[in-house]
Amino acid sequence: MDLKGIFDEVSNQMKSDFAKAQKSLSHAGLKGGANEEAVRRFLRHYLPRTLDITTGLLVDSQGGQSRQLDVIIADSAKTPILYESAEIRVIPVECAYAVVEVKAFLDKTELGKAYENMRSAKSLVKKAYFEEKGAIIHTHSLYGMEWDHWPLHYFVFAFDSAGIDSVLSNLNSIQGSDEVHQRIGSICILEKGVILNQGGDGMFSALPSAGSRVMASHTTRPLLLFYALTSIILNQASMRPFNLMPYLKDVSF
């Protein structure tokens, strides 16, 4: 099977859809919606069916709420929908694995907006789980740390940008001093390449870790590389049993 050829076709189709939206739609919101749906459609087709792909808001049991998020990747079997209207959903953050921000053109201003959206999502508290009991306690090794729950990841997908090296420079400027688990994981720019992480062992990853460096790949197949790296992470995703009761603590029955 020619996997490279398949993803070249998908990439060309996404570029074509993007060009049509830019040419045919005059309203910025409609253009943005079309671009976001193209990315969601790709993820629905190529990620495992155990993952739900939607758009909307994340909330936590402390009353926190994210900004509106372009793509939310959550557990398809265990996620309760707190609210739904058309495709927009409100989802408990405990059930979400990752968020993808979609940009038509990624410049410093748009990267700053994506960063602020990330902070609104990553600031939410994941704690509404049933307590694990028994001799075996499952953990996740991510960002160079051990977690008793799956931490929320954040990625950016852009159709185009200025030079990818300038995007890398802007990214380092915006989040260079942040702890690794508070950073944007990686960025796919369909026309330019992928910004990713290289560990001390030389291996590439969608996520940063202690001692890794952020670098720009000028690959001619950015969609395939981004898909491969994020799939490696998301194929490991799992969640502890979700407990709805902390969300209902202020509700009178």
**What are the pLDDT digits (tens) for 176-226?**
889 999 999 999 999 999 999 999 899 999 999 988 999 999 999 998 899
Per the CB < 8 A criterion, the answer to whether 19 and 191 are in contact is: no
pLDDT for position 13: 75
CB count in 10 Å sphere of residue 174:
17
**Whole domain around residue 39: which residue ranges?**
3-128+152-242
Number of structural domains found in the chain: 1
- pLDDT one-digit tens code per residue, 150-173: 999 999 999 999 899 999 999 999
Q: Answer yes or no: is 45 within a domain.
A: yes
Two structure tokens written together for 36: 């976001």
Sign of the CA dihedral running 77, 132, 182, 142: negative
Judge whether 141 lies within some domain: no
Identify the H or E element spanning 166. helix 164-175
Would 136 be classed as within a structural domain? no
Residue 27, number of CB atoms within 10 A of its CB: 8
Task: For residue 97, tell me if it sits in a domain.
Answer: yes
Residue 249 lies in a domain: no
Per-residue pLDDT of the chain (253 residues; tens, 9 = 90+): 666 777 677 777 766 666 665 666 454 555 568 889 889 998 998 899 999 999 999 999 999 999 999 999 999 999 998 888 877 899 999 999 999 999 999 999 999 999 999 999 999 999 999 987 766 667 899 999 999 999 999 999 999 998 999 999 999 999 988 999 999 999 999 999 999 999 989 999 999 998 899 999 999 999 889 999 999 999 999 999 999 999 998 877 7
pTM (whole model) above 0.75: yes
Does 144 fall in a domain?
Answer: no
- Say how far residue 93 (Cα) sits from the centre of its chain: 13
Task: Enumerate long-range contacts of 224-227, CB under 8 Å, 24 or more apart.
Answer: 224/3, 224/4, 224/7, 224/8, 224/11, 225/188, 225/194, 225/196, 226/155, 226/157, 226/186, 226/188, 226/194, 227/7, 227/46
Asked whether residue 203 is domain-assigned, the answer is: yes
Does residue 8 sit within a domain?
yes
CATH code of the domain in which 192 resides: 3.40.91
Report pLDDT for 90.
Answer: 95
